[in-house]
């Protein structure tokens, strides 16, 4: 068994608890409740805050169900109603999200998707007390993004060879930089390396007459 939690809000603590129980399909005796914030009435209705609770419950030893439930809960708080399909791959779990507004899930340059993937992996790993790698995708974004980065790498490398001078790309995540490095690692007269500090670290695609340098 693993222990996970969800958060719910309501006009009162009781209302928030009931919302959680209704979503989980559980009874009060099946869960543990932590009151995160009490409701406040404010003055003349101004400054009123809803109550927030965190409800802990146990799940069966199936990470796929835990991943699915966690993602559905998080995305419902973004006012989304996704379909989540989780499969077990070789050494990791892959969650495919189908949603009418996938742009909200992806975010600018995939930042929301990447953050959602990181948080999900952290939560599930903690629930099972072991590292569990989770890959999250929606509308085949990761493959499309990988194809875009590889095309960018090839075109920039062509410019470097033609001009015989270095070109610097815009800041990228470590995941995206790895795609660029891998794409060009065997390209003749081309080396790649990263400079700067996160989150502004950039790739330099460099012209090399002799030897190569590939640093992530």
pLDDT (tens, 9 = 90+) of the chain, 216 residues, equals 567 777 888 889 999 898 888 877 778 887 888 998 888 876 666 677 888 998 887 766 678 888 998 898 889 888 888 899 999 988 899 999 998 888 899 998 888 999 999 999 998 888 787 889 999 999 999 999 999 999 999 999 999 999 999 999 999 888 899 999 999 999 999 999 999 998 889 999 999 876 555 554
Q: Which of 69, 52, 74, 56 is nearest to 8 (CA)?
A: 52
Determine the Cα–Cα distance for residues 214 and 117; give it in Å rounded to an integer: 27
Q: What is the pTM of this model?
A: 0.62
Determine the Cα–Cα distance for residues 190 and 83; give it in Å rounded to an integer: 43
Determine the Cα–Cα distance for residues 140 and 97; give it in Å rounded to an integer: 9
Cα dist from 166 to 148, 153, 189, 204, 212, whole Å: 21, 13, 11, 7, 13
User: Exposed, middle or buried, 112 (CB in 10 Å: 0-12/13-18/19+)?
Assistant: middle
Token pair, residue 159, equals 């410019």
**Domains of the chain, CATH where assigned:** 1-59 (3.30.1660), 60-139 (3.30.300.20), 142-207 (3.30.1370.50)
Checking DSSP bridges between strand 134-138 and strand 202-207, what pairing results, if any?
unpaired
Dihedral angle sign, alpha carbons of residues 117, 119, 124, 126 = positive
């Amino acid at each position: 068994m693993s222990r996970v939690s969800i958060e719910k809000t309501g006009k009162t603590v009781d209302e928030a608890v009931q919302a959680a129980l209704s979503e989980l399909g559980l009874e009060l005796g099946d869960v543990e409740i932590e009151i995160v914030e009490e409701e406040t009435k404010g003055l003349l209705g101004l400054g009123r805050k809803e109550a927030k609770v965190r409800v802990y419950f146990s799940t069966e030893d199936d990470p796929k169900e835990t991943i699915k439930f966690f993602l559905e809960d998080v995305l419902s708080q973004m006012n989304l109603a996704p379909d989540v399909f989780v499969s077990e791959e070789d050494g990791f779990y892959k969650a495919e999200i189908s949603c009418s507004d996938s742009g909200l899930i992806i975010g600018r340059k995939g930042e929301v998707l990447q953050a959602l993937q990181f948080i999900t992996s952290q939560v599930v790993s903690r629930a099972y007390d072991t590292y569990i790698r989770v890959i999250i995708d929606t509308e085949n974004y990761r493959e499309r993004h990988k194809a875009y980065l590889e095309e960018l790498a090839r075109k920039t490398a062509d410019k470097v060879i033609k001009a015989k001078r270095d070109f610097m790309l815009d800041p990228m995540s470590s995941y995206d930089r790895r795609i660029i490095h891998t794409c060009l690692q065997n390209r003749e007269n081309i080396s790649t390396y990263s400079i700067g500090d996160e989150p502004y670290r950039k790739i330099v695609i460099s012209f090399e007459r002799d030897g190569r340098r590939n640093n992530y």
